[in-house]
Amino acid sequence: MKFFLDTANLEEIKLANALGVLEGVTTNPTLVAKEGASFHDRLREITEIVPGSVSAEVISEQANDMVEEGKELAKIAPNITVKIPMTLEGLKAVKSLSELNIKTNMTLIFNANQALLAARAGATYVSPFIGRLDDIGHSGMELIGTIAAIFDQHTIETKIIAASIRHPMHITEAAQQGAHIATVPFDILRKLVEHPLTDAGIKRFLADWNSRI
Ligand code: E4P
């Protein structure tokens, strides 16, 4: 499983990129609005830091408008992936954009049928939202496993991005369930590194080194 960062914050992206584990970035209108930056400018800045896929979400709701918006977003940089919400209009837009060889990430996926439809329409990625499913008493993780099994059984190449990640166990479990990618908020990426026994081990090694005769 690969790591994408789920943010539009440049400092976080630079820090994660320096770790050598970052294969892409996902943004959404909420994340970009939080930054207060111009949408296109911010996306351009992100694509200049990260060579991998950078998801940029459309805000239109009709297929034709989504396609036009997607074409404009795709002009920003070759590594832009156009993020489209899972609706009938969204599926039409995914089909059109994939015919234009523009990569797409179908977002707001909450069941396996939505994921299968997105894949068949030509989506490069599907983004099941684990945390938001957990929030309403469903199992986000079970959904990842179900989608992975279906894609495997039918030799579907669409990649599964585990999204709406809330804690480190989501990462381990998404990897076990067969997600290809997890898109992770920066504070959770940091938590993946930390362990109290690692800190205690470093402290002890240094104390022993400094007490050598
Ligand atoms: C990423 O593609 C999603 O937009 C994001 O992970 C949603 O996360 P949230 O449910 O924490 O808003």
Question: What tens digit of pLDDT does each residue of 61-70 get?
Answer: 999 999 999 9
Question: Could you list the residue range(s) of the whole structural domain that residue 110 is in?
Answer: 2-210
Give the per-residue pLDDT at 87: 98
Ligand 1 centroid to Cα of residue 116, in Å, is 20
Structure-token pair, residue 155? 């030799």
Which CATH number characterizes residue 72's domain?
3.20.20.70
Instruction: Tell whether ligand 1 has an atom less than 6 A from the beta carbon of residue 57.
Output: no
SS3 of residue 30 by DSSP:
helix
Residue 37 scores a pLDDT above 90? no
Q: How confident is the model at residue 46 (pLDDT cuts 50, 70, 90)?
A: very high
Give the per-residue pLDDT at 56: 97
Structure-token pair, residue 104? 């797409």
Asked if 54 contacts 80 with a C-beta cutoff of 8 angstroms, the reply is: yes
Task: Give one DSSP letter per residue of 84-102, joined into a string.
Answer: EESSHHHHHHHHHHHHTT-
Instruction: Tell whether ligand 1 has an atom less than 6 A from the beta carbon of residue 127.
Output: yes
Q: How many domains does the chain have?
A: 1
Residue 163 scores a pLDDT above 90? yes
Instruction: For residue 148, give the nearest of 168, 166, 165, 173 by alpha carbon.
Output: 173
63-76 vs 39-49: helix crossing angle, rounded to 10: 50
Cα 189 from Cα 168, distance rounded (Å):
8
Structure-token pair, residue 5? 């960062």
Instruction: Tell whether ligand 1 has an atom less than 6 A from the beta carbon of residue 81.
Output: no
Average pLDDT, the chain: 97
Closest ligand 1 atom, residue 30 Cα: 12
The catalytic residue among 34, 83, 92, 103 is: 83
Residue 213 scores a pLDDT above 90? no
pLDDT in tens, 78-123: 999 999 999 999 999 999 999 999 999 999 999 999 999 999 999 9
Cα 124 from Cα 119, distance rounded (Å):
7
Percent of the chain at pLDDT exceeding 70: 100
Residues 6+ apart with CB under 8 A from 51: 79
- How many helices (H) and strands (E) would you count in the chain? 11, 8
Give the per-residue pLDDT at 108: 98
Give the per-residue pLDDT at 118: 98
